[in-house]
Chains A and B, each alone.
Chain A
Amino acid sequence: MDILVSIKPVLAMAVSLAAAFLILITGESARNLRETWTILAAVIKFLIVASMLPQILDNKVIEYTLVSIAPGLLIKFRVDALGIFFGLTASFLWIITSFYSIGYVRSSNEHAQTRYFMCFSIALSATMGVAFSANMFTTFLFYEIITLCTFPLVGHKGTQEALKGAKRYLTYLLGTSVAFQLLAVILTYHTAGTLDFSNHGIMSAARDRGASDAFLTVIFVLYMAGITKAAMMPFHSWLPAAMVAPTPVSALLHAVAVVKTGVFVVVKIVLHIFGIDLLRQLGLGTALAYFSSFTIIVASVIALKQDNLKRRLAYSTVSQLSYVILGVALLTPSGITGSIMHIVIHAFGKITLFFTAGAIYIASHKTEISQLDGIGKKMPFTMAAFTVGALSMIGLPPFGGFISKWYIAIGSIEARELPIILVIATSTILNACYFLPVVYAAFFKEPKPAHTHSHGSDAYQSPVTHHPSIHEAPAMMVVPLIVTAIGVVALFFSPSRFLELAKIVVSSVTGGN
């Protein structure tokens, strides 16, 4: 495998940092200019990431050491197939989300928009940092930065409820990472003498030097407990709580940047810190697979009971994230492929769903599923996109979700873990149970008369004539969600680019080169 030295990963990371600075300077007084920075940075970032793709497909690796702080502690970037995979997904979706965000915050007249866009940019920088990090220290560094700079976004509304959600968000993410993940990182350094990601894991060498199996297991468990962003049960409850955030934040951060960072880091740890051989010998892969299966099922069941659309989506996310972990935990080529594919496919699907939730809120101020009867006729594009996203989540062809589920299912057969198939089947049924009624209600039920809306969160709207004519949200919001919905379909028909990347990852971690 050739190694190229190039500053591109740093630029990809830094461009939105620069944008954050420009956004801060520009401020509220020149809103259009401020938004230009966001869009510009998003496009440039995507182009930089995309420009690295040919080399990666050429089976090369791009490296760059930014600073060497102390032995073992260097901020170093390394773009490999897995990293570019995540980087492409996040940077592409950022462009779309930027447009959507602008539409959303302007329609709803959010306060502190400068802070909003600034934190957004920094979050994206940090996401790139995680995607392209070459060692566990760099990962940890950007992981923490994501937590800190998304905290203001979660608490953006500043209401009591938002603050409570934001506090839980920060306590879970920061607390566990400082307590467990940091300890795990230090233990890794102590046992392995390095923090650099390696294709066959760095811990197997440590085991040869005499680190006991129990000790390695403890480190692995600490990692899993410390990476709360992956929202594995029992550390999942921050995610529904964080749904108080404005919808674009939920969309990008809780479908892409934050949660995907979590599962991405889990994948990295499984593949590059421990290595699949070691985990198989320790039997930890199977344990992780069943643990994530538990999360898949339970979160789906909880999702069934949610009436708030965003909360239902949040629990769906909790469940879907565990698919990624499940796939990689199977430790087989197809499982890993499915897991990696699910990162991008779920991102597109879930961001579509969140976008529609936001569009519905902006257009009609409805947040509960029980209020959505008949809304499909008023907002046909939005709800069509919702349907696409939902079907992809369920895993029906011709939507992207089918592909990743297919690979994960094959992976479980390869791993001879047949109960996992059952888990996938059950989860598919449950997914259908909690998504299809929404679609059905939106398109086929008659809207309820306005006067029945006397309960719950929309009580304050009752004096108003209750939006007699609901129509589509602004184009700034509808177009992005149609684009992502098309993306979901496109991923089914031409997943080859991504599959190619996934193959490179698989071949590099399973012996080969």
Chain B
Amino acid sequence: MNIQAQAPVLIIIIPLLASLINILIGTWRRDLCYPFALIVLGSCLLLAFNIMDTVINTGTIHYRIGGWAPPWGIEYVIDHLNAFIAVIVTSMSFIVSVYSRRSIEKELRASKIPYFYTLYILLTTGLLGITVTGDVFNIYVFLEITSLAGYALIAIGDEKAPMASFNYVVMGTIGACFYLLGVGYLYIMTGSLNIADLQRLLPDLYGSTVILVAFAFFLIGVSIKIAFFPLHTWLPDAYTHAPSAVSAVVASTMTKVGAYVMIRITFTVFEPRFSSEIIPMTSILGWSSVLAIISGSVLALAQTDFKRTLSYILIAEVGYIVIGLSVGNRAGFTGSVLHILNDAFMVACLFMVAGAVVYKKGSRNIDAFTGLNKRMPFTMAAFGIAAISMIGVPPTAGFFSKWYLVLGTIEAGQWVFASALLFSSLINAVIFVRILEKVYFNGENVSIPQSRDEVPLSMLFPVIFMGAGILVLGLYSGDIISSVIQHTVPKGF
């Protein structure tokens, strides 16, 4: 069997089976779970790169599950956007899994470790499923696989985690149900669930109210899943109280994949023409993003818990991504897709730093960062890079996505959007300067042991990798755009 041809399905099947096998391994030898997970996620990463390579060289991949032709069978369709997201998802989950071992040992009971990895792999399966499939109902199923794994992973966090997770379950289920209703309405009107098929059938029906309702249901559902303002309320609690490794992986992948679904719905299933001209949905999204960015930033400023700060920043970052989609032009869209990548790196890096600080100091409070530059110079260097990237200073990656986003809003003549983006940069500057100051200038009044005391290598390496990655991504933004992102821009922009 040609592995390359089967890659789209293998990338789902391997982790799906592995997550089950992992439990069996766990009952036999608990310490084997970690290497096993690494192997599985590593092979997913390789497959994702392989798929990306195929897509770049030969164009969109169509894979028919069981040989059934669409629209009757389920079809996996991978174009540049899917492949791009798949690479992000697999990279993040692989890197964070490397990081997870020591962090999890510290934060969880040993008996739970096999289940942790099972859920972790399952989460990745779900995310990859959403990414590769070309079928709207299939997206729902994978969305729920992801969410279920996510609920459970978050619930194994600290004291307050179960309650945070329960609220997430309630909100997440509402989101999923709205999405499902959207699928139902589309099915009533078109009799199809295949994205390509829908794209062909829908333009004739754009006048229909049912289609409008379906679109609205989709958007509400996805907005809940990506914690888009004002449907973000579940996120800060859930991401704050989850184990550090879980926060890192869910924050860097789930919202991003959600944003991918939003792009698919608004620009592939429906045409950009529908989303921006026939109904003013994009301008509604744009203004909500402005609110998301401003409220996310301001609330982040008000927090003393570092992970909670990051959670609110994440809400603002989701606003960034959506704002770029909403302006409906090439620069804005490029900025959004690029920001999906950059934000994944930044957020993962910052949450991993948070985890490293928890590991060493046992506290999530911002004050725990005081004077850490002597104890954890490498972690703090990575933190500094990620922070600067969040502020949007070149040559870090964050600058380039912000560049395109602001350029997009200006081309669209949306001055308020542009100001919101820059305002958020300012607030980020205040937030991170406050922390960096604690890190690097503890002053003489704080007496802490000055000897070096870094986290274990398995945690340190991913953090440094991410920090370096942010710089490298920045310098290669142009290549990423020209080889991948420019192919993802929908026709009509």
- A residues at B contact (CB < 8 Å): 67-71, 73, 75, 137, 140-141, 144, 148, 152, 155, 158-160, 162-163, 166-167, 170-171, 174-175, 178-179, 182-183, 186-187, 189-190
Instruction: Contact check, A70 vs B478: say whether CB atoms are below 8 A apart.
Output: yes
Bound CA–CA A440/B125 (angstroms): 80
Bound CA–CA A69/B477 (angstroms): 6
| B410 at the binding interface (Cβ < 8 Å) | yes
Instruction: Contact check, B392 vs A148: say whether CB atoms are below 8 A apart.
Output: no
In this complex, the member of A70, A140, A174, A190 whose beta carbon has the largest number of chain B beta carbons within 10 angstroms is A70
| Given A152-B440, A186-B403: A141 and B394 interface contact (C-beta under 8 Å) | yes
Instruction: Contact check, B406 vs A175: say whether CB atoms are below 8 A apart.
Output: no
Bound CA–CA A67/B411 (angstroms): 26
| B442 at the binding interface (Cβ < 8 Å) | yes
Which of A144, A163, A186 lies in contact with B410, CB distance below 8 A?
Answer: A186
Bound CA–CA A174/B442 (angstroms): 21
Which of B391, B395, B476 lies in contact with A178, CB distance below 8 A?
Answer: B391
Which of B426, B440, B481 lies in contact with A179, CB distance below 8 A?
Answer: B426
Instruction: Contact check, B433 vs A170: say whether CB atoms are below 8 A apart.
Output: yes
| B5 at the binding interface (Cβ < 8 Å) | no
Bound CA–CA A68/B411 (angstroms): 23
Which of B388, B410, B444, B478 lies in contact with A148, CB distance below 8 A?
Answer: B388
Which of B395, B410, B443, B478 lies in contact with A190, CB distance below 8 A?
Answer: B410
Give the chain A neighbours of B478 by CB distance below 8 A.
68-71, 73
Give a binary string over B125-155; 1 marks a CB under 8 Å from any A CB, 0 the rest.
0000000000000000000000000000000
Our count of residue pairs bridging A and B at CB distance below 8 angstroms stands at: 88
| B407 at the binding interface (Cβ < 8 Å) | yes
Give the chain B neighbours of A137 by CB distance below 8 A.
394
In chain B between 403 and 446, which residues have their CB closer than 8 angstroms to a CB of chain A? 403, 406-407, 410-411, 418, 422-423, 425-426, 429-430, 433, 437, 440-444
| B177 at the binding interface (Cβ < 8 Å) | no
Bound CA–CA A186/B422 (angstroms): 11
Give a binary string over B463-493; 1 marks a CB under 8 Å from any A CB, 0 the rest.
0000000000011111001000000000000
| B393 at the binding interface (Cβ < 8 Å) | yes
Instruction: Contact check, A183 vs B441: say whether CB atoms are below 8 A apart.
Output: no
Give the chain B neighbours of A189 by CB distance below 8 A.
407
| Given A186-B406, A190-B411: A73 and B400 interface contact (C-beta under 8 Å) | yes
Give the chain A neighbours of B477 by CB distance below 8 A.
69-70, 73
Give the chain B neighbours of A144 by CB distance below 8 A.
393-394
**In whole Å, how far is B13's beta carbon from the nearest beta carbon of chain A?**
37
| Given A69-B474, A73-B478, A167-B433: A178 and B443 interface contact (C-beta under 8 Å) | no
In this complex, the member of B400, B403, B441 whose beta carbon has the largest number of chain A beta carbons within 10 angstroms is B441
**In whole Å, how far is A501's beta carbon from the nearest beta carbon of chain B?**
29
Instruction: Contact check, A187 vs B437: say whether CB atoms are below 8 A apart.
Output: no
B428 to chain A: closest residue by CB: A178
Which of A69, A162, A163, A187 lies in contact with B475, CB distance below 8 A?
Answer: A69
Bound CA–CA A293/B108 (angstroms): 65
Instruction: Contact check, B443 vs A159: say whether CB atoms are below 8 A apart.
Output: yes
Give the chain B neighbours of A69 by CB distance below 8 A.
395, 400, 474-478
Give the chain A neighbours of B475 by CB distance below 8 A.
67, 69
Give the chain A neighbours of B429 by CB distance below 8 A.
170-171, 174-175, 178
Bound CA–CA A140/B396 (angstroms): 13
Instruction: Contact check, B443 vs A182: say whether CB atoms are below 8 A apart.
Output: no
Bound CA–CA A69/B478 (angstroms): 5
Bound CA–CA A189/B433 (angstroms): 29
Instruction: Contact check, B441 vs A73: say whether CB atoms are below 8 A apart.
Output: no
Which of B411, B433, B442 lies in contact with A171, CB distance below 8 A?
Answer: B433
Bound CA–CA A152/B380 (angstroms): 15
Bound CA–CA A10/B290 (angstroms): 40
**In whole Å, how far is A184's beta carbon from the nearest beta carbon of chain B?**
11
Instruction: Contact check, B443 vs A179: say whether CB atoms are below 8 A apart.
Output: no
Bound CA–CA A188/B286 (angstroms): 24
Bound CA–CA A171/B434 (angstroms): 10
Bound CA–CA A389/B430 (angstroms): 38
**In whole Å, how far is B385's beta carbon from the nearest beta carbon of chain A?**
11
Which of B422, B433, B441 lies in contact with A182, CB distance below 8 A?
Answer: B422
Bound CA–CA A138/B275 (angstroms): 37
Closest 10 CB pairs of A and B: A70-B478, A141-B394, A158-B443, A178-B425, A69-B478, A144-B393, A186-B406, A179-B422, A190-B410, A158-B441
